Structure 1
């Protein structure tokens, strides 16, 4: 940790709330009759890329990309040998833990490996996903729109989905995924892009990360991932897969051409319905928080799910409890439901405290300036709000929420 502290001076964890601890038991009461609305607390980016890579070739489906029928066949994809992809240097080679060739159930080999540039995990993983369907662009094409500031620490799943749609594909952003659903999508040649926690090196500490899941192996109990940091066809043991995926509420993206629409509809079923999806996410978060009351990620997921239910008071209480247990200091870089919750219940000082603590470490998360601006606006400081929205747009001119907030002043 000494190296991390020298490279990235930071607090040990996210600042705790300035209020007494709560009794969280009430937050674990099931709400079976509640029908959650579509989340409305956060303004989602609506901008589309002004320029995309040149015309894409027609998609040539292969046996690994399409299925003959919607119902899953017993063996829709023949097991294949993992291709050999040389690492660009000894550093990347040393990080690699390749998946086993023995007993692979499904493997999609159409993704083009991209080792991420600086802070470019999101665009690199998105480029690998799009390449499965013939897209010829690179991570740098995607980054021009997704993160014009090279130092930007995060690209959200919804921003990546918006880019994929603008490139001519369908894209679904879902939460509360399951390993079995991932496997089913893989059987039909559809890779699954997940957001997860990541601890690649002890000295760097916890961070967020994207991976493209392209296969699985029940014999070896592992998923196979294209990883922009670790390398191609990496082993992700089943227990490690869910341990880190759940830290982001089991968020996943499915990107696909029109040919796959019926398959995706069949595989996802009721998970295409937001109230049903968030109802399941609430039950999962409550169960995990009850089973392990000292798990901050379970309580954080519960807060995010309550935001989706528009129960911002319960969301704020769940986030408070997660903070009191202790969250990794980078957590504010990636997920922003807690800002929505605190804004919604009038706790503007908490928004400012979290934003300022993040900005003190890095000034390259545009969402911090956006939320700080919203808090200042609510406190009757339109001049200060304007300044923060402008700072957000300086870092990412394509960040539509800040542009919309600025226009509303």
Structure 2
């Protein structure tokens, strides 16, 4: 009897409701979805404004994905008497099917279509996505190739002369260095041979020690150079403040470090300004030291210079003299990652603790004075890139930079020195692929391409990390 009364009451209510009124389920579903959308929009805006990265929207998106099905199913249960039988069950089944389809489509899009910068960013909040990244080369290294027969052996590369191209040394020259053949008159010995990575208006005056050398090829620059000879006069510690820290965006350590060192001199731009010049394609995987130097020389009021074959004493000499230095290093930025190349800015050092102070655009700045990196770790991560560095200076301090560089002020002497260092390291550690790569890179800088090819083949045979060629 009571059941009949309830049925009659519900029938009367339905009869009293205007024919055009929407079903209660649909009405409250629209209200709920509108509330979720407004809340998600406000929360997403605040999250993105706080972090400035799209990955900040991931928690908001996940919340929406969970709340919409829960709301729909909850309303279906509440208004089940006004809906077809088993409607909630069918609704749940529909959401399960949609979730499965969405997972397959989403994973496929993530793996094959999503730009790499977003792929990597999403791994932080969603670590399981790492399993769906495109596969890296087997073993994480550059695939080996069959080395051509003939030509110099690895041992030959360790024994040959460390000077520039044979053609250059065979040509009579009135200049004090063994640069490649050039029509440059003898009155202009100060201008180094242009090269892709030097990209500078070089110091206008060569070190006086070089200018008085005889015209025969000079000896290879010793590891000491001017910096090492003055090492005993360096302070125990030094620190340069005044940098504006700029945490890098995706694969943006080059522009971020460029912006950081320029901020030391009062430049007001950001890494985005630098990136617009250095890598207009945001998926560009690499910015070379030479490109950074070009940017500094063409887009700022200070000067930049890059050389290979640096050493710890030289870096400390620059820092103690008040010059910011960028170094290119290679290694693991965090546990579980693959080997990667990276730029760092050196802001100080402390001999008592045997550490360099680093502004790292990815790992941070520690307590504000820079993260500490031991001398051993600093040098071992610097080695893969031939100990290349960029020093940034005001034009009126060019002579100070030249004095610290010593023989390395000349690009060819710098390459010869780097070659000798790499050869010595290859003799003591012949299974290290990086030292062979450095031999090849130095030989290529000197125009000795046939020998460079064989050194690169040896480096590849020893398994270079696949990102080495980026």
Which TM bucket (shorter chain)? Answer: 0.5 to 0.7
1:216 to 349, 352, 370: 349
Correspondence for 1:10: 136
- The 3 A distance-change label for structure 1 pair 45 and 221 is closer
Contact 1:3/1:204 (<8 A) preserved? no
**In the TM superposition, what are the counterparts of 1:35-74 in structure 2 within 5 Å?**
37=179
- Structure 2: 5+ residue stretches without partners: 1-126, 170-177, 181-191, 201-229
Instruction: Verify: 1:303 aligned to 2:440, yes or no.
Output: yes
Contact 1:107/1:214 (<8 A) preserved? yes
- The 3 A distance-change label for structure 1 pair 8 and 228 is farther
Question: Over residues 140-198 of structure 1, what are the superposed CA-to-partner deviations in whole Å (9 max), with x where a residue is unaligned?
Answer: 11001111122211111111100100112211110000000001111111121001103
Q: How many residues align?
A: 283
Correspondence for 1:197: 330
| Deviation at residue 8 of structure 1 after TM alignment | 4.3
Correspondence for 1:123: 255
**In the TM superposition, what are the counterparts of 1:78-157 in structure 2 within 5 Å?**
105-157=237-289
Separation in 2, partners of 1:326, 1:204:
17
| Deviation at residue 42 of structure 1 after TM alignment | 7.4
Instruction: Verify: 1:318 aligned to 2:455, yes or no.
Output: yes
Larger Rg: 2
Correspondence for 1:329: 466
Separation in 2, partners of 1:45, 1:32:
20
Question: Over residues 216-236 of structure 1, what are the superposed CA-to-partner deviations in whole Å (9 max), with x where a residue is unaligned?
Answer: 011111000111001110111
Contact 2:197/2:290 (<8 A) preserved? yes
Separation in 2, partners of 1:316, 1:260:
39
1:294 to 411, 421, 431: 431
**In the TM superposition, what are the counterparts of 1:210-359 in structure 2 within 5 Å?**
210-232=343-365, 233-333=370-470
Separation in 2, partners of 1:33, 1:205:
36
Structure with the bigger percentage of helix:
2
Contact 1:41/1:307 (<8 A) preserved? no
Contact 2:199/2:293 (<8 A) preserved? no
| Deviation at residue 274 of structure 1 after TM alignment | 1.8
Contact 2:198/2:306 (<8 A) preserved? no
Separation in 2, partners of 1:43, 1:180:
26
Question: Over residues 271-314 of structure 1, what are the superposed CA-to-partner deviations in whole Å (9 max), with x where a residue is unaligned?
Answer: 11122111111111111111111000000000011111211111
- The 3 A distance-change label for structure 1 pair 217 and 72 is closer
What secondary structure sits across from 1:148 in the alignment?
coil
- Structure 1: 5+ residue stretches without partners: 48-70, 77-103, 334-409
Contact 1:306/1:315 (<8 A) preserved? yes
What secondary structure sits across from 2:387 in the alignment?
coil
| Deviation at residue 7 of structure 1 after TM alignment | 2.6
Correspondence for 1:345: none
Correspondence for 2:58: none
What secondary structure sits across from 1:116 in the alignment?
coil
Separation in 2, partners of 1:133, 1:179:
24
Separation in 2, partners of 1:276, 1:174:
10
Instruction: Verify: 1:29 aligned to 2:162, yes or no.
Output: no
Contact 1:116/1:124 (<8 A) preserved? yes
Separation in 2, partners of 1:275, 1:199:
31
Contact 1:30/1:283 (<8 A) preserved? no
| Deviation at residue 202 of structure 1 after TM alignment | 2.9
Separation in 2, partners of 1:14, 1:248:
16
TM-score by length of 1: 0.64
Structure 1 range deviating more: 7-16 or 281-290: 7-16
